[in-house]
Amino acid sequence: MQVTVIGTGYVGLVTAIGLADAKHDVVCVDLNKERMEQLSNGVAPITEEGIEGALQQNQSRLTFTTEYPVSDLYLVAVGTPERADGSCDLSAVEAVVKLIHSIQPHAAVVMKSTIPPGTTEKLQMAYPSLRFAMVPEFLREGTAIRDMRNPHRVIIGTHDQQLASDLTELFKTNAPIVHVDPTTAELTKYAANSFLAVKISFINEIARLADIVGADVEDVAHGIGLDPRIGPAFLKAGAGYGGSCFPKDIAALTTLAQQHGEHLHVIEAADRTNEAQLEYVLQKIAPKRGLRVALLGLAFKPGTDDLRDAPALRLAERLTKMGVIVTGYDPAAKTLLDQKDTIEEAVTGAEIAVIMTEWDEIKHVTPRRLTDNMKTARLIDGRNCWAFVEEPGNVQYEGIGRPNKTFSNNPTS
Ligand SMILES: NC(=O)c1ccc[n+]([C@@H]2O[C@H](COP(=O)([O-])OP(=O)(O)OC[C@H]3O[C@@H](n4cnc5c(N)ncnc54)[C@H](O)[C@@H]3O)[C@@H](O)[C@H]2O)c1
């Protein structure tokens, strides 16, 4: 089958590779000419494990262009960022659908972008000749290729029986395929992200209490996570979440609810807790003019170079405004900070190092590499990724909700 994917960012590119993996011919369209040239030369524009190999494997089935081709099936994976009022900016999605309609008014249009509940139905009313479906994307940056090959589920939201059946074939998987209406599919995506954000904020609140009462939040998380009704995932206390999805999706969902006179109290609280969590890290740093702080890890999570809404950048901005001298290190992401090429360079002369992204390299950094280079070897582990052992070390360690024990560089999982 020939498929056209519009937007070749994290979702569009990975989806296109997945379809090419399944032997479909895929035309990828993006406004970004430079990105299309890079991709035509087999160069991945994003950092994702296994993406270069997957691109090369599928080169013969992938075409990259800035021109919209005539196609019977378009997958839409353009960005849906946050507007100033918190709502979802649908302008790219709307522009794409309008263009598709002008090219092929009877095409099937599958929304992969995250769009607020009710959007697909509105588009269907505006363009009755097009055949719409919403198939939300659940990949995680950092493991996107793996997730695409082994999804936990596929949600197909459409009223069009033929399209539902074609998409079941197109996204063939051993995972459960759930058939629903488009609005339910849209809400499923937002509910999934909101629930994960709630879990993170929940454990972050427990971590703050653990700091007060002298408990270890990592052991608490392990203890509650063994209950299958709770589960161990997303119970990692730290500096809070960020990234290209959670903040904007939570803003879009809570704003939509408010527009309907409804309050999503739990989700709104998770968002407030997340804001407070960064303040909590700031408190631990106790910023003052001239203090030298090194941020270890800048991307919003390991395995990606994505800096959208990265907590490290938000922290750097706050610190810089307070007159703190900030350096940074990240193995993949490139920022405008005073960013160094190695951990040693970043921490040289620093009084505090703060782990903001749990890259393997940062988890495994030896205390020696800090003590040999820092002015005062104080480490705030904003991802609780170092593990404790019996041997005392020379680094003054502080995690989030972990008692002040000695530590090693044995990373936690
Ligand atoms: N990144 C993730 O982890 C993730 C996961 C699940 C869902 N999503 C959702 O998927 C959507 C895309 O996210 P992303 O992270 O891949 O975004 P992205 O910003 O990485 O990529 C979007 C791409 O669309 C292109 N584009 C914009 N307007 C266009 C147009 N009119 N025609 C052609 N191309 C156009 C941009 O140039 C860009 O390359 C968003 O709605 C997001 O919420 C993202």
Q: Is the pTM of this model over 0.75?
A: yes
pLDDT in tens, 182-229: 999 999 999 999 999 999 999 999 999 999 999 999 999 999 999 999
For residue 238, name the pLDDT band (cuts at 50, 70, 90).
very high
Higher pLDDT, 367 or 331: 331
Residue 390 predicted with pLDDT over 50: no
Tokens at residue 163, please?
A: 């399209």
Contact 110, 76 (CB under 8 A): yes
Q: Residue 115 Cα, ligand 1 centroid: separation in angstroms?
A: 11
For residue 410, name the pLDDT band (cuts at 50, 70, 90).
low
Protein residue with least CA distance to atom 27, ligand 1: 78
Q: Residue 404 Cα, ligand 1 centroid: separation in angstroms?
A: 42
Protein residue with least CA distance to atom 18, ligand 1: 9
Average pLDDT for 290-318: 97
pLDDT in tens, 163-180: 999 999 999 999 999 999
Protein residue with least CA distance to atom 43, ligand 1: 114
Inter-helix orientation angle 91-103/119-126, to 10°: 30
Domain assignments of the chain as residue spans, ordered by start:
2-180, 190-398
The architecture in CATH of the region 2-180 reads: 3-Layer(aba) Sandwich (3.40)
Q: Which atom of ligand 1 is nearest to the CA of 115?
A: 41
Contact 76, 7 (CB under 8 A): yes
Q: CB-based burial of residue 149 (10 Å sphere; 0-12 exposed, 13-18 middle, 19+ buried)?
A: middle
93, amino acid identity: V
Q: Residue 76 Cα, ligand 1 centroid: separation in angstroms?
A: 9
Residue 61 predicted with pLDDT over 50: yes
Average pLDDT for 263-268: 98
Average pLDDT for 328-342: 96
Protein residue with least CA distance to atom 11, ligand 1: 113
Residue 407 predicted with pLDDT over 80: no
Alpha helix locations (H) across 4-82?
Answer: 10-21, 33-40, 51-57
pLDDT in tens, 121-132: 999 999 999 999
State the Cα–Cα distance between residues 59 and 64, nearest whole angstrom.
10
pLDDT in tens, 78-89: 999 999 999 999
Q: Which atom of ligand 1 is nearest to the CA of 112?
A: 10
319, amino acid identity: L
Contact 378, 351 (CB under 8 A): yes
Tokens at residue 392, please?
A: 């005392």
- Would residue 245 show up in a list of annotated catalytic residues for this protein? yes
Average pLDDT for 280-303: 98
* Main-chain phi, psi angles of 362, to 5 degrees: -80, -40
Q: Which pLDDT score, from 0 to 100, does residue 386 have? A: 86
Binding pocket residue ranges, ligand 1, CB within 6 Å = 6-12, 29-32, 35, 77-80, 92, 95-96, 113-114, 137, 139, 141, 244-245
Q: Which pLDDT score, from 0 to 100, does residue 405 have? A: 57
Q: Which pLDDT score, from 0 to 100, does residue 403 have? A: 78
Pick the closest to residue 237 from 400, 363, 362, 353 (CA basis). Answer: 400
Higher pLDDT, 136 or 377: 136
Average pLDDT for 310-319: 98
Contact 75, 69 (CB under 8 A): no
Average pLDDT, the chain: 95
For residue 392, name the pLDDT band (cuts at 50, 70, 90).
very low
For a substitution probing ligand 1, which of 6, 8, 11, 80 has the most ligand atoms within 8 Å of its CB? Answer: 11
The architecture in CATH of the region 190-398 reads: 3-Layer(aba) Sandwich (3.40)
Cβ atoms within 10 A of the Cβ of 214, count? 8
For residue 67, name the pLDDT band (cuts at 50, 70, 90).
very high
Alpha helix locations (H) across 265-338?
Answer: 265-285, 311-321
Pick the closest to residue 205 from 280, 284, 312 (CA basis). Answer: 280
State the Cα–Cα distance between residues 333 and 297, nearest whole angstrom.
9
Who contacts 225 (Cβ-Cβ below 8 Å, separation ≥6)? 231, 232, 233, 235
Give me the count of residues in the chain: 413
